[in-house]
Structure 1
Amino acid sequence: MQLGSSHHEDFDFPIEKFELMLKTNEVLFFDAAEFENIIGHYIDSGRLALAKKALKLALDQHPKSVNLLLMKAELYTFEDKFEKAMDLLEDLKSLEPNNEEVYILMANIYSKQDLHLQSIAILKQALKIADDLIEIHSIMGMEYLFLEDFENAKESYIKCLENDENDYTALYNIIYCFDFLNQNEAAVQFLKGFLDKQPYCEVAWHQLGKLYFEAKDYEKALEAFEYAIISDEYFIGAYLEKGKVLERLKKYAEAIECYTLTLQIDDPTAFAYLRIGKCFLKLNQPEKALKHYKKALHEDPLLDKVWLALSDYHVKIKDYKKALYYINKAINIDEENVLYWKHFAIINLELDNIKDSAFGFKKSLELGNYELETWITRTDILIELQHYEDAIQTLNHAEVFFTNTAELEYRYAGIYFQLGEIEKSKLHFDKAYALDSNYRYIMRDLFPDFNL
């Protein structure tokens, strides 16, 4: 290979120049900064083989470049060659003890091995010599999050924000930590203090509004979202949250206006159409509701909440066949959703699809819907189907959550009567009657032949 001549000096783009060199088998000269850009480009695009090839040539031409050696350590890290990377970084640390990039890369290697405490220890060393404190505190915050040490993570991100009041990533992470620590009131006070210094920070107003919303302080939430919109009139998130607050305040017409504005500011979203549809339904305008549900469906046919809304709409007009069709669509998207299976069960009950209804209640119970009503409805369906053993098993499970419950005991009594186990039947009936005699109508409704 020969070192390239001067006719290659007119190349404007180092990457094109480098790739031509590979094709022509010539060796061209690049300064260290150009090599850094070339290697960085290949790393960012995931082309590690070319990055390694460029690095080898780079170190042939610039063997003492610390930045290139750092890139070598970075490539070792990508390949999980942690020991080689750490040995190289220890050498570089001896050469340049005040180079913060060395410490950051060492911390990254520890983190990749789940050695987060060691990573934090290295970063604390870096804080003593670093110019860019924000980056160090930010990485430390993430390490604390890995350890689920939310208190220290919060403090790290607060330091980020103290050094840069526009670091919204840090602001979001601070609120995230407050949330995990169940320190909602402290989060409110923190945001108020921050807004005293940055009164036009739309992100802070937005987060404050969400905290008030969670606390059901809807008037304050509304005010916060309005300030967020004043700070940034194109802030879609603030309009959506404001719409949700207006819904809670039963100001449905105003909520519709708010959601409609989001459609004008940016591309329409299925969520906005869905909320508009629900508001129209509250205003007793079902045709407009249906129209907006269909628009939501057009925007995002995989948004299962739209299919649920359509199902509920058809339940209200007693068109149970269509309601079943739509709830099946929702289940196809999210088959682990308890609510959808319960709706499926209830709709099938209306259609006299008893077996399907029983299956729906079974699924909702398996997925954690342990309401007494769910246990009872499934039991009653099994009684109607004369699946008495399954009904007893369902009651046994229900009793784990609802001990000494008259409604369950009466059903035990009736089932055992049907099975001819009279002593057990009488035992449960006496217990049920002692718990609450008002529920004895259950025997008449479910077991008309019952007679002890």
Structure 2
Amino acid sequence: MKKLVLICVLAILGNKGVAQTTSNTIADSLFATANYTLAINEYAKQGSPNAQLQIARAYNAIGNFDKALAQYISLVQSNQSLELAKYELGRLYLKLKHYTPAQAVFSQLIKKNDQNPEYFHYLGESLKELDHFPESITAYKQSVKIDSTHLRSLFQLGKYYVMQRERDSVLKYVDKGLHFYGNDVSLINLKALAYYNDHYLWQAIPLFERLVELGEDKEYIHERMGHAYLIMHRYTEAKDAYFKLLGFDEENPKALYGVGTSFWKLQELDSAITYIQKSIEVQKVTLDKEYNALARLAVEQNDIKLAIGYYIKAYQENYDGYLYKYEICLLSDLYYKNPKQSLKCYREYQQKFGHQKDYFSEFASKRISEIKEEIHMNTH
């Protein structure tokens, strides 16, 4: 009888183990194929710490960050030894821009394990976002001390020293990264900027060229290349760089002037004049909106004469501003009460803007007829 009971118990436990294993397999398969909602339902049947961690990851993956955060916090509070869960919680805090709790999490992780470069890197990220720059730099340096090839920490250090204009420090950290991975465009860019900012243009140029070769087809790169080529008397290459810059914005005044200057140095004077003139044209400042605002303020203060003056200036800035011309005519008509002057103004309006056939042109046409009648009545 005892043997029978024991066999039954073992059978039940075995079935439970098989069911648990099957549930794990199904949940893991659903998670691996990004079927996160169904995976969450399967993991919820298990209740193990690993299942809870997977639920947190699934919520994170589908973008339900509130539930992911709540799940991670609950898991970490009930299982203080789960270092991986705490690490992922810290990462999530960073993603959600909760920098103070992120700093706390990574500081706690470092107390338990001070040989993990990732912990120091993300502590540095937290501190940087909290504007604790000296402390963040210390954290990044510790990350690099543990792992001299930690590219993201090397980049942050290089970036910091580029902003500080400390070229030697930039090269110290950037070159470590490039020695490990020579095609890291972020590090190449920092090195190029360090040389460029210190006017070592002959050393910056090959680095900018390398960035372009690696697919970094960006405005600021072509602008700096164009400038560097000009200074180094490489005028054909400067012209080509500025033409590429124009490909982003055909009215870029720096690019137009750069092309013009390059043509000038190449003794193609007609082309030089053309592009430099274009550079001037696109930089022409129009102040019609500002004069219009002043005109309207003058009207509100019942200073009609001043308002007319401002509308005239606005129209001179922008001869396509039909409302400016209309206001000139309307206010002059009211203020000066000079029929001949008003007639001339309305006719000018109709000649240029009458084709619009809107309210303003209809009013001008009507007013022209009325003024003609007034003039006729006054002459008889």
Shift in alpha-carbon separation, 1:286–1:431, aligned structure 2, 3 A:
closer
Alignment counterpart, residue 205 of structure 1, candidates 41, 55, 65: 55
SS at match of 1:420: coil
CA displacement at 1:416 relative to structure 2: 1.0
Matches within 5 A, 1:30-109: none
Residue type at the aligned position of 2:45 = K
User: Amino acid of the residue matched to residue 211 of structure 1?
Assistant: A
Pair 266,381 (structure 1): closer, same or farther in 2 beyond 3 Å? same
Alpha-carbon displacement from aligned partner over 1:270-322 (angstroms, at most 9, x marks no partner) = 01011112323333434433332232123211212222222233334443321
- Please state if 1:321 is matched with 2:168: yes
Match of 1:370 in 2: 217
Shift in alpha-carbon separation, 1:174–1:409, aligned structure 2, 3 A? farther
Find the counterpart in structure 1 of residue 179 from structure 2. Answer: 332
Task: Report the TM-score, using the length of structure 2 for normalisation.
Answer: 0.60
Residue in structure 1 matched with residue 196 of structure 2 by the alignment = 349
* Aligned: 1:292 with 2:139: yes
- The normalised TM-score by structure 1 is 0.51
Report the equivalent of 2:369: none
- Aligned partners of 2:56 and 2:67 also within 8 Å: no
Please identify the structure whose Cα radius of gyration is greater.
2
Alignment of 1:56-205 (within 5 A): 164-167=22-25, 171=28, 174-178=30-34, 187-200=35-48, 201-205=51-55
1:310 aligns with one of 125, 143, 157: 157
Instruction: Look up the SS of the partner of 1:164 in the other structure.
Output: helix
Structure 2: distance between partners of 1:430 and 1:175 = 62
Shift of 1:334: 1.6
Shift of residue 210, structure 1, vs aligned partner:
3.5
Q: CA deviation at 1:240?
A: 2.2
Select which of 276, 287, 296 maps to 2:123: 276
Q: Secondary structure at the match of 1:234?
A: coil
Residues 331-374 of structure 1 deviation map (CA, whole Å, 9 limit, x = unaligned): 22221111111111111122221112222222222212222122
What corresponds to 1:444 in structure 2? none
- The answer as to whether partners of 2:124 and 2:135 remain within 8 angstroms in 1 is yes
The answer (yes or no) to whether the contact 1:209–1:221 under 8 Å persists in 2 is yes
Displacement of 1:266 after TM fit? 4.9
Q: Distance in 2 between matches of 1:174 and 1:431?
A: 61
Shift of residue 417, structure 1, vs aligned partner: 1.9
- Distance in 1 (CA, whole Å) between partners of 2:184 and 2:277 is 39
Tell me the equivalent position of 1:389: 236
1:263 aligned residue: 110
List gaps (5 residues or longer) in structure 2: 1-18, 286-380
| Aligned amino acid, residue 60 of structure 2 | K
Offset at residue 230 of structure 1 (A)? 5.3
Q: Structure 2 counterpart of 1:210, which letter? A: N
Shift of 1:237: 3.2
Q: How many residues align?
A: 265
Any conservation in 1 of the 2:57–2:68 contact (CA below 8 Å)? no
Q: Decide which structure has greater helix share.
A: 2
Map Cα deviations across residues 99-129 of structure 1 (whole Å, 9 max, x no partner): xxxxxxxxxxxxxxxxxxxxxxxxxxxxxxx
Please state whether the residue corresponding to 1:167 is helix, strand or coil: helix
Q: 1:175 to 1:431 in 2, by over 3 A?
A: farther
- Taking the aligned partners of 1:191 and 1:289, their CA distance within structure 2 comes to 38
Map of 2:259 onto structure 1: 412
| In structure 2, C-alpha distance between the alignment counterparts of 1:433 and 1:164, rounded to whole Å | 74
Question: In 2, distance between residues paired with 1:426 and 1:198?
Answer: 77
Larger RCO (alpha carbons 8 Å, 6+ apart): 2
Q: Post-superposition shift, 1:248?
A: 3.8
Shift of 1:175: 4.3
**Partners of 1:202 and 1:227 within 8 A in 2:** no
Name 2:343's counterpart in structure 1.
Answer: none
CA separation of 1:310/1:273 partners in 2, compared to 1, >3 Å: closer, same or farther? same
Deviations, residues 393-427 of structure 1 (Å, cap 9, x unaligned)? 3345455x526352433322221122111232344
**1:241 aligned to 2:88?**
yes
State the 1:269 CA deviation. Answer: 0.8
Identity %: 15
- What amino acid does structure 1 have at the position aligned with 2:23? E
After TM superposition, give the deviation of residue 253 of structure 1 in Å.
2.9
Tell me the amino acid that sits aligned with residue 204 of structure 1: Q
- For the residues of structure 1 that align with 2:188 and 2:20, how far apart are their CA atoms? 49
Distance 1:177 1:378 in 2: 46
Q: Distance in 2 between matches of 1:424 and 1:176?
A: 61
- For residues 312 and 382 of structure 1, what CA distance do their matches in structure 2 show? 24
Unaligned runs of 5+ in 1: 1-160, 179-186, 440-452
Question: Would the aligned equivalents of 2:162 and 2:193 in 1 still touch at CA under 8 Å?
Answer: no
Distance 1:299 1:310 in 2: 15
Moved more, 402-411 or 338-347: 402-411
